[in-house]
Amino acid sequence: MTFRLLVTDDLSPEAVDLLDADDDIDYDVVKGLSPEQLAERIPGYHGLVVRSSARATAEVIAAGDTLEVIGRAGVGVDNIDLRAASERGVIVMNTPGANTVATAEHTMALLLAMCRNVPIAVASLRAGKWERKKYKGVELRGKTLGIIGLGRIGRRVARRCRAFGMEVICFDPYLSDDRAHEMHLERVVLDELLQRSDFITLHAALTPKTRGMINRHVIAKMKPGVRIVNAARGGLIDEAALVEALESGHVAGAALDVLTKEPPDFDNPLLHMDNVVVTPHLAASTDEAQREVGIQIVKQVIDALHGVDFRNAVNMPVVDGHVLKELRPFLSMAERLGSLQTQLAEDAITKVEVAVEGEVIDDYIKPITVALLKGLLEPVPTGSVNYVNAPHVAMTRGIVVSQTTGLHTTDYPNIISCRVEWSGGKRTIASTLFSHDEPRIVDVDGLRIDVIPEGTILVSWSRDEPGFIGKVGTLLGDRGINIATWRTGRSGKGEKALSFISVDSDVPDEIITKLAELAWVERISKVRF
């Protein structure tokens, strides 16, 4: 199959070479598209590669009738409507790490340029002035740096600032004390960081929660004379509040690589204040970072389109290549388990509980749950369900999904169990893999069984009494339907029996009806994999 890819910005020559070398990829580079133009252009493309200027809005994503993947050549995905992408099953991936060093180094450049008045001193000299006293600076050594957001970039900034003799403290709600300790960093609450820091640098993603986080109220809590650096996203700072604080001197200086509006209105006061250093979103713009970002995103998007790897997907719980390889048979097993639950349910499923146990799968309940939901929802006629939108589709259908423990009664290694509920009933089924990759259903409501979930299977609940097997054999045999395997689980001799009867060809509905009328049978269903 040929995949069509739309690239909305320049990629490095090495990345373009990769696209040229792939016979399965047919790409177009169209730059400077507004969201409306992008929405017009996107139908028919399977992949979209953007940097920060193109915006993949909900309308663009809705217009992408064949869109499967959006690759962001960079880190921030705030120019992509993630929610819309997830709802429509479109994978969004970025390239974390590829421009980390570039951004950390630019943060240092901003910090030093601000402390030593570099840009304004250069401008003054160029204007024919020699103003040595006017542009006296401050040192970093011995000062306290507060880092907000300790991801890849924040950690590198911390390391570099310690080398300058700074005391580094950090605030990051997702960082544990242990992890901070390992990195020799002091983790503090936000208020303490604001009160203690001589310099504050932002390294947080822009989300609805972090937008405007540096506002009037927060700035008021900062130490007088604080200096602020932002090489993350302009939207993190309320710019009007920052301008006020710079004018009053409460904030002594700011060094900004990013602004709320980019390109900015050129009358934005931040562009004209002597105590502000500002660069046009350059942090990731190095030869090295741009080469790496381009190569990574092209490789990732190609792999995702081929379905071989989904690394750095931000809206998909599937893990990267080598783990995926080990996990894939379990994901496939989970899908079949979900499918079996749907096919056996006696009414619309309203609740799904999933439990996983085993050395290989213990850490992967999330992707396993998504795979199970995919199998469970796939027969829904409303459109395709995939690893990205399965949780959303479940939610819109009012299905409550939870993860739990202790659902199964069997003791196989690496077991995936699932209990579903519908109005007036519930069923628990457990599954595992034999010999690493052979799927097996091993338990249904406490009845042990050993069934390969493939092909066509008749599932019957009956009384365990003589004559049943013979009668079923005759009914199917008369219609030329061969029984491949017959597996039974029973609670005890003469009690309730559960049979999984695999057949080599389809069983017509009228035969199912005849089977259901047999005296032994309580219930019989046909399932297909």
Q: Give the residue from 401, 410, 407 showing the smallest Cα distance to 373.
A: 401
Q: What angle do CA 24, 26, 27 make, to 5 degrees?
A: 135
Nearest distance from C-beta of residue 96 to ligand MLT, angstroms: 9
Nearest distance from C-beta of residue 108 to ligand MLT, angstroms: 16
Token pair belonging to 151: 């991801």
Q: Do 107 and 157 contact (CB within 8 A), yes or no?
A: yes
Nearest distance from C-beta of residue 50 to ligand MLT, angstroms: 9
What's the number of CA atoms in the CB half-sphere (13 Å) around residue 45?
A: 28
Q: Is 426 helix (H, G, I), strand (E, B) or coil?
A: strand
Query: Which residues would be at the binding site for ligand MLT (CB under 6 A)?
Result: 51-52, 74-76, 99, 284
Nearest distance from C-beta of residue 206 to ligand MLT, angstroms: 9
Q: Give the residue from 511, 434, 526 showing the smallest Cα distance to 480.
A: 511
Question: Measured from the CB atom, is 76 or 473 closer to ligand MLT?
Answer: 76
**Tokens 């799927």 belong to which residue?**
439
**Cβ neighbours for 371, distance < 8 A, ≥ 6 positions apart:** 330, 331, 332, 334, 335, 338, 387, 390
Nearest distance from C-beta of residue 75 to ligand MLT, angstroms: 4
Question: Measured from the CB atom, is 106 or 223 closer to ligand MLT?
Answer: 106
Question: Measured from the CB atom, is 89 or 294 closer to ligand MLT?
Answer: 294
DSSP letter string over 330-393? HHHHHHHHHHHHHHH-SS-EEEEEEEEESTTTGGGHHHHHHHHHHHHHTT-TTS---TTTHHHH
Question: Measured from the CB atom, is 74 or 367 closer to ligand MLT?
Answer: 74
Question: Measured from the CB atom, is 106 or 187 closer to ligand MLT?
Answer: 106
Question: Measured from the CB atom, is 182 or 287 closer to ligand MLT?
Answer: 287
Secondary element (H or E) of residue 248: helix 239-248
Nearest distance from C-beta of residue 124 to ligand MLT, angstroms: 30
Question: Measured from the CB atom, is 52 or 197 closer to ligand MLT?
Answer: 52
Distance CA 451, CA 448 (A): 10
Residue 203: how many CB atoms within 10 A of its CB? 27
Closest residue to ligand MLT in the complex (CB): 74
Q: Do 324 and 318 contact (CB within 8 A), yes or no?
A: yes
What's the number of CA atoms in the CB half-sphere (13 Å) around residue 287?
A: 0
Nearest distance from C-beta of residue 295 to ligand MLT, angstroms: 14
Which residues are known to be catalytic?
233, 262, 281
**Cβ neighbours for 31, distance < 8 A, ≥ 6 positions apart:** 8, 9, 10
Q: Is 111 helix (H, G, I), strand (E, B) or coil?
A: helix
